[in-house]
Structures are given as structure tokens and as C-alpha cells.
Amino acid sequence: MIGKNDIIEKAYECGFGDIGFTTADPFDSQRELLEERQKEYAFANQMGLDLIAGTDPKQILPDAKTIIVLMEIYFNEAFPSFMEKHFGRCYLDDDRMTKDGLAKRIKAFRSFLIENGIQSKVPFNLPHRLAAARSGLGTFGKNCLFYSNKVVCQGSWVLPIVFVVNQEFSPDEPTLRVGCPDWCKNSCISACPTGALKGPRKIDPARCISYLSYYGQGITPMELREPMGMWVYGCDHCQNVCPRNAPWLARELPVNKKVAAMLDDFKLVKLLHMDKAHFNNKVFPHMFYMSDQDLWRWKMNVARAMGNSRDEKFIPDLLTAFHNVNDEKVLGMIAWAMGRIGGPKARKALNDLLPGRDGLVREEILLALEKS
């Protein structure tokens, strides 16, 4: 029978940054919160994630005795700055589809457990940040993120991975608290461009750029287009402004070669014109919250980012896309982007596009002309 130390040793051997243990007791406070805010978290159910069931480890593994939490660092290497400006860092080297990195290490850890007679489940619906804090691995930020006690200079660039197991191990001392210094006057809350952070540890997911970029319905509301800025998929703004992350952001890190090699496939112009083949071969293996049925949302986000760049160099590509795309949400956003870029070239293009247009697209062109 293996002990806690053997498991800790294996976790480090598998490349994880930290490890903690907690009981398999239910997460009652989280259950209450989810029940109160069912509407806001309805999107998780639509994705097949039963978050309420995830608050009881015994619904995941009936003879659950312990939760083991492994700390994965997703920002150990530097990403090209272009990628960091448009895509959330946690999605850049995400191998949940390609299964060539983290997935292999999780498998190796689980195989070690099973070889030693321990059954495990790795659920996605268990409140992983709460489990990590209950295991003593870190504290909460007022921005709703989790900050490590040990790795990435105690920053938030970590992903806790939970293993519900059927063997009892002594739990670690919980660190269930907010770890923000008193002198930080809630920089994250005031910096959130869309007002998604309603207060300390209170987020409205439906206003968060991350959520909007992959699940937003319809054309992005006018009042959110400028605040969503240059983000195409995800958002790291409340982590970038956080003083708790400053020490890690100041580090010189080795370049992530895998992500550097993706750069060309993720250029804004490529994404604006991409077909299903490009999406499925180059984009989806890394960023998979939308299927090829949702190319419109990718293109709408890219057009909005191009508009917010205020760079005239994008006008010819926006025009080409206008003639090649059918979705009115994308066409409307292209018109908005031209209006946001403004200037005589954009105005001429908008005037040329107007004849024969009706409905939402016509409305957006007219509004864009007023702005340009």
C-alpha cells in the first residue's frame, strides 16, 4: 500500500507544480451559491456540466474518500505577444484535444494510482478552485481566480486538477481565504472592461469577455464592442493588472516553441477569411469551445478586434470578407469595424456596401457611417 509521500513524489515526477489533499466532504457553500445563481450558470448545464452534482464527490465516485489536487502551471514559458494580446493564456497550450502534454501526464498519474489499487475519477464539474484551497494549495483573488501558494511566484497562472479517489489520506491544512493585500484597491474590479466583476469574488459570467467570446449569442451588443477591445478568444485583463501577478510577469521566460509555431495560423486576417478546413485543422485542436458551426462567432470577434485596432490596413480584408460571408452578424460587425476605424477610405467602403442591404446589416452600415 502506498502512502501520501509516494503520491507526492509521483506528482512531481509527472511534472506538476504542487500537490494537496482534502477530504471528500461535499462543497455545501458552493452548492448553495449555485442554487441561488442558477440562471447565471445555465450555460454550464448546456455544455453538459452538472455543477451542482459536482459539489458532492460521492456523486462522482460512490466510495470517494479523498480529493487529491495537482497544480498545473499553464504559463511556464513565454508566448508571442501577439497571441497574448488576442487570446487568453490558458488556451494557448491547452492539449485537451491534442492530448500530447497534460493529458499524458494525468494518465501517467492515474495509472500509478491504479497500479497501487486506488480508483480515481478526474471530474470537470467539481469546484476545482475550492478543492485546491481546501487542500492548502492557494488562496482566492477578488477577481475570482485562484492564486498558488507556491509556484509562479504565487500568481494565478495555474490550473488545479482534481482526482477523486477511493482511499483515505490525511487532509492538508486548508487555505480557504482571499489572499489579496489590503493596499490593492481592487485594481481587477475597476479594470474589468465590461463590468463583469461586480464586486470582490462576484462575477457575472454573461458579461465576462471570455464567456462572450465563445458563447455570446447574436451580434455583440453595441455597448460591449469597444470594451471587448482586442480580445478574440478569452481575456486575461484582470490577471494582467493584478499586483499579485506582477513578479511572474516580470520574469524572463523561455519561449514556448509550440505556440510560437501557431502564430501564422492565428493571424487576424487568416481567421477572418478561414474556412472549415483551416478551422478544424489549425484552430479547433487548440481552442475548441466553438465548433465549425460557429465560425460566424470567430469572424465576428476578429472583425470587432480589427475595428478596435483603428488600423486602416484592415479595410481591404474587411471588405473582401463582407463579400464572402453570408452571416448577417458578421456583416454587421464588419460594418461596425469600418466605422470604428473611420476615415475617408472606411466611409467610401461603407457607402459602396449600402445599396441593396436591409435589416440588421443596413442598420449597422448607417450607424457606422454616422460614426466614421
- Can you state the angle between helices 102-115 and 4-13, rounded to 10 degrees? 150
Query: Could you tell me the smallest distance in angstroms from the CB atom of residue 40 to ligand SF4?
Result: 13
Please report whether residue 188 would count as binding ligand SF4 according to CB under 6 A: yes
Assigned C-alpha cell, 4? 501520501
Q: Whole-angstrom Cα distance, residue 284 to residue 286?
A: 5
Decide: is 187 part of the binding site for ligand SF4 (CB under 6 A). Answer: yes
Measured from the CB atom, the residue of 80 and 195 that comes closer to ligand SF4 is 195
Q: Which stretch binds ligand SF4 (CB under 6 A): 55-63, 188-196, 251-259, 354-362?
A: 188-196
User: Segment near ligand SF4 (CB under 6 A), from 103-111, 178-186, 253-261, 320-328?
Assistant: 178-186
Q: Say if residues 53 and 198 touch (Cβ distance below 8 Å).
A: no
Q: Which is nearer to ligand SF4, 83 or 315 (CB)?
A: 83
**For ligand SF4, the closer CB: 169 or 233:** 233
- Residue 149 as a binder of ligand SF4 (CB under 6 A): the answer is no
Q: 149 has which bridge partners?
A: none
- Alpha-carbon distance of 163 to 60, in angstroms, equals 10
Query: How far is residue 292's CA from residue 201's CA, in Å, rounded to a whole number?
Result: 34
Burial letters 15-30, b for 16+ CB under 10 A, else e: bbbbbbbbbbeebeeb
Supply the DSSP string of 45-114, one letter for each residue.
HHTT--TTGGG-HHHHSTT--EEEEEEEES-SSB--HHHHHHB-HHHHT--TTT-SSHHHHHHHHHHHHH
Minimal distance, residue 152 CB to ligand SF4, in Å: 14
Quote helix, strand, coil % in the chain, to nearest 5.
50, 10, 40
Lay out the site mask for ligand SF4 across 255-284 (x = CB under 6 A, - = otherwise). ------------------------------
CB of 143 to ligand SF4, least distance (A): 4
Specify whether the CB–CB gap between 228 and 194 falls below 8 A.
yes
Closer residue to ligand SF4 in complex, CB, 184/354 = 184
186 binds ligand SF4 (CB under 6 A): yes
Q: How far is the CB of 194 from ligand SF4 (least distance, A)?
A: 5
Q: Which is nearer to ligand SF4, 185 or 323 (CB)?
A: 185
| Cα–Cα distances in angstroms (integers) from residue 261 to residues 76, 256, 324, in the given order | 17, 9, 28
For ligand SF4, the binding residues in 195-234 under the rule CB under 6 A are 196-197, 203, 208-210
8 A C-beta contact, residue 228 and residue 195: no
Residues 219 and 329: beta-carbon distance below 8 Å: yes
Q: Smallest distance from the beta carbon of 47 to ligand SF4, in angstroms?
A: 18
Q: For residues 189 and 361, which CB has a smaller minimum distance to ligand SF4 in the complex? A: 189
Out of 131, 242, 272, 337, name the contact with ligand SF4 by CB under 6 A: 242
Binding residue for ligand SF4 (CB under 6 A) from 117, 243, 343, 359?
243
By the rule CB under 6 A, 132 interacts with ligand SF4: no
Residue type, 115: E
Q: Least CB distance from residue 146 to ligand SF4, whole Å?
A: 10
List, in sequence order, every residue forming a beta bridge with 147; answer none if it has no partner: 139
Q: Is 92 in the site for ligand SF4 (CB under 6 A)?
A: no
Can residue 151 be called a binding residue for ligand SF4 (CB under 6 A)?
A: no
Q: Of the candidates 68, 151, 238, 262, which one interacts with ligand SF4 according to CB under 6 A?
A: 238
- Does 338 interact with ligand SF4 (rule: CB under 6 A)? no
Phi-psi region of 148 (alpha: psi -120 to 50; beta: other; left: phi over 0): beta
**Residues with Cβ within 8 Å of residue 187, at least 6 apart in sequence:** 241, 242, 243
Query: From the list 30, 55, 143, 308, which residue makes contact with ligand SF4 (rule: CB under 6 A)?
Result: 143
Please report, as ranges, the residues that interact with ligand SF4 according to CB under 6 A. 141-143, 180, 184, 186-188, 192, 194, 196-197, 203, 208-210, 235, 237-238, 241-244
